[in-house]
Amino acid sequence: MYLALYRKYRPRNFDDVVGQEHITKTLVNQIKTDKISHAYLFTGSRGTGKTSSAKIFARAINCTSPVNGSPCEMCESCKGLSENNMDILEIDAASNNGVNEIRDLREMVKYPPVVGKYKVYIIDEVHMLSTSAFNALLKTLEEPPSYTVFILATTEVHKLPATILSRCLRFDFKLVSLEDLSSLLKKVLDSEKITYDEQSINIIARAGEGSVRDTLSIADRCVSFAGSELTMQKVISVLGVSKKEILINLTNHILNKNIGDTLVELDKVLSTGISPLVFSNDLIAYFKDLLLVNALGDDSRSIVVVKDDIYDQMKKQSEQQNYNTILKSIEVLSAVEQELRYSAKPRIVLEITLIKVISESSLLERVEKLEEIIKNKFPS
């Protein structure tokens, strides 16, 4: 049976966890010094490695001969945990969120580990627990048996009661950088013997939006379509991601304050099947690159990964606008992301947003010109 890439390449040790060195180093040091806390809180966006890190940590603290803080996979404890996992219990709080389930957990806590040194309870999506369930969990977190470790994982830490937060050692998982996602993709595709070009890697990594799981899932879709050779055109066919040339044309109309041509160009883009949300995100990413070119000049060449002819056009566009105007355009586009995601008419939302981008930039330019006139007439 085919195994999805995100499952096949799920981290088995801390060295495999991508982009969370600030967390993995701390956990490794705790394992090496045998200073294990009784309760941990892993929080952050989806697909950033919370549950994977929890599983690695659970196996590592039970391993008799950890290798650089990671489970050795060879000792009796590691083998025993991989076979029956009786000492590492995963609980999905989304479907087990009542007080009765937590009371059952409190009863289980009384029993010592069977194979390893610690009995580890990983409670995923812990923010889904009811108020009464949190109250039932609180007593166990306060005075757990010495052999018990709790790892709470959540994407919405603000929903957790302060009483729970204060009893946990908190780790915040950050979104993974584009560079780290690209490196991981190359490693995975090389292992799968799939050829690729830099543009296709860059598009998939951007579409992953900082999530390792989302990035590998998107890569899976693209590979299923493209076969053993991944190209930019094939990735665009799957994702509906905009070409840089389209973004350049549309941005030219926006920078020239031409509302009519902007809407005509947008119509051409959306008629190809690209969703307004995807195109809006592409446009934000493009304006961000434009901002880097504007602010850093030629030093941005190592950061903005595009072909030379595309970079030259972006450089010309950046010279037409000042830093504040480009920044304002990004702010206006970013403000409607949620509305685009859930709107029944996202196309209209995007059209209005682009008109607003043009209007806001025009107003900002007039204000700056007025300030310059006043400054020249009334020098301080």
pLDDT tens sequence across 318-336: 888 778 888 888 988 888 8
Q: In this structure, is the dihedral angle defined by the CA atoms of residues 349, 352, 357 and 360, taken in order, positive or negative?
A: negative
With contact defined as beta carbons under 8 Å apart, do 63 and 76 qualify?
Answer: no
- 169: β partners: 40
**Domain boundaries for CATH 3.40.50.300 within the chain:** 5-173
CA–CA separation, 337 and 346 (whole Å): 10
pTM of this structure: 0.69
Q: Does pLDDT of 186 surpass 90?
A: yes
pLDDT for 305 equals 65
- 40: β partners: 151, 169
What average pLDDT does range 235-251 have in this prediction?
78
185 falls in which pLDDT band (50, 70, 90)? very high
244-376: CATH number: 1.20.272.10
Fold of 5-173: Rossmann fold (3.40.50)
Q: Which residue has the higher pLDDT, 150 or 84?
A: 150
Q: Which CATH number is correct for 178-239, 1.10.8.60, 1.10.3720.10, 1.10.357.10, 1.20.1260.10?
A: 1.10.8.60
Q: Does pLDDT of 82 surpass 80?
A: no
pLDDT for 78 equals 79
365 falls in which pLDDT band (50, 70, 90)? low
With contact defined as beta carbons under 8 Å apart, do 305 and 198 qualify?
Answer: yes
